Amino acid sequence: MVNSYSYLLFLLVCIHVFLASGSPQNLNLPTSTFDEGFQHLYGDDHVFILENGKSVHISLDSRTGSGFISQDQYLYGYFSASIKLPSDYTAGVVVTFYTSNQELYETNHDELDFEFLGNIRGQSWVVQSNIYGNGSISRGREERYGLWFDPTEDFHQYSILWTGKVIIFYVDNVPIRVVKRTEAMGGDFPSKPMSLYATIWDGSNWATSGGKYKVDYKYAPFIAKFSDLVLGGCAIDPIEKSSTCDYDTNFEAIISTGVTPKEISDMENFRKKYMTYSYCYHRSRYPTPLPECVIKPQEAEQLRRIDPYVFGGGLVGM
């Protein structure tokens, strides 16, 4: 496990560079090997540790899926991995990179998700982000996107920044989604210590075209490859809420919560080109958008063009 005090000193040294740049990736946070920061979750013989722990492959076949989990829990942080997804026919396959505390809080857990949804041959993977707070699973906050690259050809970086005020999802250092905490959200904003997870599993009943296409195990094993794993926060005892780092503030005080004007422009461009679903615009599901939603007419019109049935008919609050 990385020494927490040394890691804190590293963060403090980096802060001046970071505050000038405004982007967490510019901290150049150290990566963790598997033995330093992680342990097996399930499917032990389907989790392969390579390159002295710098790379982890997880696989799915007809017998089992697999996954790994951080050794510690964190209250706020920056979490990142370079991921290469399985190729060919991958319908029904789900690869995840996410934070959660469901093992400790069965009825009121928090969660921040990157979910990668496989597809039939010739169709691209779909990326889904989601947020749950305090067990708010009846209020899914899903967004779905395409990508400007083929995620099966090479490794690409996927990152989550989580502070007490904002959550930002990144792909290759481009922010694709920002959720700011509002008073009206209450406990729906994740605020309890969470572990970091990576898994691969069979989502045949929903992942591809609503379950129309299932996992075909003649193409197994399906292998997802992870490297450059970053655990950018100080571990915290989930019960005592005490940190292993010797400082009196949380991660939010060390890492900026903003995005630069260029990042805002990059995010708007990404969402215009690649966002295919957002819960904020699903009127029949949420007649009144949830309190953190920032309704943008251009996004509403863009989604109406994609799916007039789901997103048509105007929106409350526009």
By residue count, the chain amounts to 318
Tokens found for residue 159: 């990152």
Among residues 36, 51, 106, 115, which one is catalytic? 115
Using alpha carbons, list the distances in angstroms from residue 269 to 176, 277, 298, 300: 9, 15, 12, 15
- The residue annotated as part of the active site, out of 36, 111, 142, 183, is 111
Contact 244, 235 (CB under 8 A): yes
Please say if 36 is a catalytic residue: no
> In the annotation, is 111 catalytic?
yes
Instruction: Give me the sign of the Cα torsion angle 278, 280, 281, 283.
Output: positive
CA Rg, the chain, in Å?
A: 19
From the number of C-beta atoms within 10 Å of its C-beta (0-12, 13-18, 19+), residue 68 rates as: buried
Cis-peptide into 221, omega within 30 deg: yes
Residues serving a catalytic function are: 111, 115
